[in-house]
Homo-oligomer: A and B are copies of this chain.
């Protein structure tokens, strides 16, 4: 019942003189994603963005920017190299490549260091590890060109517990019910959504409103559950702290908060201990910050019989 929810992620910017990324046909993205062993399941578009739900996570394509997130044992780096090759390295104006430490890294086909060796040959940049090897850690590669990235906020949840977690593991799920439990229509009333339920479990949803996106991926499997939420919505403009609301619903044992060019406020977070934090100035335009939280109460572990 194990599935590697931990994600690899690329944010790619092209210069405004290059052909719009939205002009590339769906076939192009299918071909690019096939390199990573991923495929398109459905899509949602508005005048700013094309959002695709994938067999492993999500792809968002704006005119001059793309965001691609894949999980499982996908080789995201192969898709990235294919896209860079097709667009032409001269047109790449910015790039951030991230990998979360995996639950089972030995099952991955590549390690971060392997990916970076390939990527560095195309786009010069700097690689970082944030966090200790024996704890949650994040790898980040950022291109040397110092363009200013738009803000993005990320919430990663581990070991969800309680009623909603139970429902997500049950045989009787539906997209409509999950969407209702996540309360997205109340939290983001202006957004349009596109979601997918996996077999035997697992759920992905993309949301769009103008140039804003939100994406949630749920790997509910008992003992290795993982939920990621990523958005470019600025919470300060909303009546709710969306991350705090999702933390209440999904009740994770621990969680990470990652901000690029934003500080995410902790208002309304469940009672917690902040175990670690990192503020990293990537260059003159971009700041990366990372916080790792755990529920306040000490955990009583149940040994798993293998």
Q: A: which residues have CB within 8 A of B?
A: 101, 103-106, 108, 111-113, 116, 126-136, 139-140, 158-159, 223-224, 253-254, 273-278, 280, 290, 294, 298-306
Closest 6 CB pairs of A and B: A278-B301, A127-B306, A106-B106, A103-B133, A276-B299, A128-B303
Is there contact, CB below 8 Å, between A301 and B273? no
For A301, list chain B residues within 8 Å (CB).
130-132, 276-278, 290
Inter-chain contact B305/A278, CB cutoff 8 Å? no
Chain B CB within 10 A, most for which of A103, A106, A116, A300: A106
- A127: min CB distance to chain B, Å: 4
Choose from B134, B139, B158 the contact partner of A158 (Cβ within 8 Å): B134
Q: What are 14 A-B interface contacts by the 8 Å CB criterion?
A: A105-B105, A106-B111, A128-B303, A128-B306, A129-B304, A129-B306, A131-B301, A132-B159, A132-B223, A133-B223, A140-B303, A273-B273, A276-B301, A280-B303
Taking the nearest CB of chain B, how far is it from the CB of A8, in angstroms? 15
What CA separation (Å) do A221 and B105 show in the bound complex? 22
Bound state CA distance, A108 and B104, in angstroms?
12
CA distance A280 to B131 in the complex (A): 30
**How far in angstroms is the closest Cβ of chain B from A99?**
12
Which residues of the other chain, B, contact A304 by a CB distance below 8 angstroms? 128-130
When distances are taken between beta carbons in the complex, the residues of chain B under 8 Å from A140 are: 303
- Cα A278 to Cα B254 with chains together (Å): 18
A223 to chain B: which residues have CB within 8 Å? Answer: 132-133
A172 to B139, CA, bound (A): 34
> Are B103 and A106 in contact, with the CB atoms below 8 A?
no
Further contacts, 7 of them, CB under 8 A, given A112-B306, A132-B158, A277-B301 = A116-B306, A128-B305, A129-B303, A130-B303, A134-B136, A134-B224, A278-B300
CA distance A224 to B129 in the complex (A): 13
Known contacts A133-B224, A223-B133; is-contact A274 B303 (Cβ 8 Å): no
Contact among B275, B290, B298 with A276 in the assembled complex (CB-CB below 8 Å): B298
Among A103, A129, A133, the most chain B Cβ lie within 10 Å of the Cβ of A133
CB of B306 within 8 A of CB of A113, answer yes
Q: Check B305–A277 contact: CB distance below 8 A.
A: no
A303 CA to B130 CA in the complex, in Å?
5
Say yes or no: A274-B298 contact (C-beta < 8 A), given A106-B108, A223-B133: yes
Chain B residue numbers with a CB within 8 Å of A116 are: 306
Chain B residue numbers with a CB within 8 Å of A105 are 104-106
